[in-house]
């Protein structure tokens, strides 16, 4: 397994700061979810055609990769579906140009269980998968919203009826909002998991309070054990949601702690 962090956790950092931190802390990759004031990856300066070769060269020199471009595309809400489909296609085009294997899409935009139009999601997702296949990219549906229930995710993937598909397993969503153990989630969608998000929290009343890894009660160690049993070799990416929660601890501290904590767990699991 490989480790990465999402740029969602460092909203004030430049690309140079993101790269240098990932290298210094010996991460394997960087997940792209906005950079500075720009959330839309196809508009990030470093990813423009005139800068792309240099960006790829810098990543290769530092032995880093970008495992996924994390779009904000929401396929299961009628008022957002058309614009989201266009957004997802733009992300797929960029991923293909960058050699990035995956693009994240969602059914609904909320992490907790919310009702979306699963028929609409399945239809649009199937079309995205067909569009992405000749470009060498796989769109991944994230386990959030209505799809934080892994049985619902399994049903939707089957309904979409495409081989160029996969799941982004957000462990926090399935555990905290779906009430599932890693065993249950893996049983339902293990064969489809291509990328993994982790974060930790405790419940305060009706809301999660985010904590650094190991200071909450999300079953991270059990998750890694199950992924090892699955022979998963992809990325486990920290999604520290500081962009949406500015009062959370600073990324430099959190990323260093995450890397140390996960290395310890992975050494024990492996």
Beta strand 2-6 with 200-204: parallel, antiparallel or unpaired?
unpaired
Query: Hey, what are 214's tokens?
Result: 């190991």
Can you give the pLDDT at residue 155? 94
* Gap between the Cα atoms of 13 and 35, Å rounded: 7
Residues pairing with 203 in the sheet: 208
Fold of 2-269: TIM Barrel (3.20.20)
pLDDT in tens, 156-215: 999 988 899 999 999 999 999 999 999 999 999 999 999 999 999 999 988 899 999 999
Report the alpha-carbon distance of residue 96 to residue 103 in Å, rounded: 10
Find the mean pLDDT for residues 2-22.
Answer: 97
Residue 117 confidence class, pLDDT cut points 50, 70, 90: confident
Query: Phi and psi of 62, rounded to 5°?
Result: -90, 5
pLDDT tens-digit map of 42-67 = 999 999 999 999 999 999 999 999 99
Q: In this predicted structure, what is the pLDDT of residue 270?
A: 56
**Mean per-residue pLDDT, 247-257:** 96
**Distance (Å) of CA 68 to CA 53, 131, 138, 157:** 18, 17, 10, 19
Contact criterion met (CB below 8 Å) for 147 and 120? no
- pLDDT computed for residue 6 by the predictor: 98
For the chain, give the mean pLDDT: 94
Section 231-247 average pLDDT? 95
DSSP state of 244: T
Q: What is the dihedral of CA 229, 222, 23, 35, to 10 degrees?
A: 110
Which residues fall within 8 angstroms of residue 129, CB to CB, at 6 or more apart? 138, 139, 160, 162, 164, 165
Spatial neighbors of 186 by CB under 8 A, at least 6 apart, are 193, 226, 227, 229, 230
pLDDT at 113: 59
**Beta strand 207-211 with 200-204: parallel, antiparallel or unpaired?**
antiparallel
How close are the terminal C-alpha atoms of the chain, in Å?
Answer: 9
Q: What is the mean pLDDT of residues 80-105?
A: 97
Structural domain boundaries in the chain: 2-269
Predicted TM-score (pTM) of this structure: 0.95
Tokens 């085009």 label which residue? 93
């Amino acid at each position: 397994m490989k480790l990465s962090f999402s740029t969602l956790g460092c909203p004030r950092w430049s690309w140079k700061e993101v790269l240098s931190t990932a290298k210094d802390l010996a991460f394997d990759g960087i997940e792209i979810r906005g950079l500075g004031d720009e959330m839309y990856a196809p508009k990030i300066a470093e990813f423009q055609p005139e800068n792309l070769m240099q960006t790829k060269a810098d990543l290769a020199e530092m032995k880093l990769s970008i495992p996924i471009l994390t779009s904000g595309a929401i396929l299961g809400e009628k008022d957002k579906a058309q614009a989201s489909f266009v957004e997802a296609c733009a992300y797929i085009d960029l991923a293909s140009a960058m050699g990035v294997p995956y693009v994240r899409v969602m059914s609904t935009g909320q992490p907790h269980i919310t009702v979306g139009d699963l028929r609409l999601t399945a239809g649009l997702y199937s079309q995205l998968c067909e569009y992405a296949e000749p470009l060498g990219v796989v769109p991944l549906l994230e386990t959030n919203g209505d799809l934080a229930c892994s049985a619902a995710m399994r049903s939707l993937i089957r309904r979409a009826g495409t081989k160029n598909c996969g799941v982004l397993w957000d462990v926090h969503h399935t555990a905290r909002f779906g009430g599932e153990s890693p065993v249950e989630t893996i049983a339902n969608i293990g064969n489809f998991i291509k990328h993994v998000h982790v974060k930790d929290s405790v419940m305060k009343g009706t809301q999660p309070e985010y904590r650094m890894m190991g200071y909450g009660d999300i079953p991270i160690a059990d998750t890694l054990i199950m992924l090892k049993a699955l022979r998963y070799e992809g990325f486990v990416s920290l999604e520290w949601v500081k962009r949406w929660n500015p009062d959370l601890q600073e990324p430099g501290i959190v990323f260093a702690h995450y890397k140390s904590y996960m290395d310890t767990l992975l050494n024990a699991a492996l």
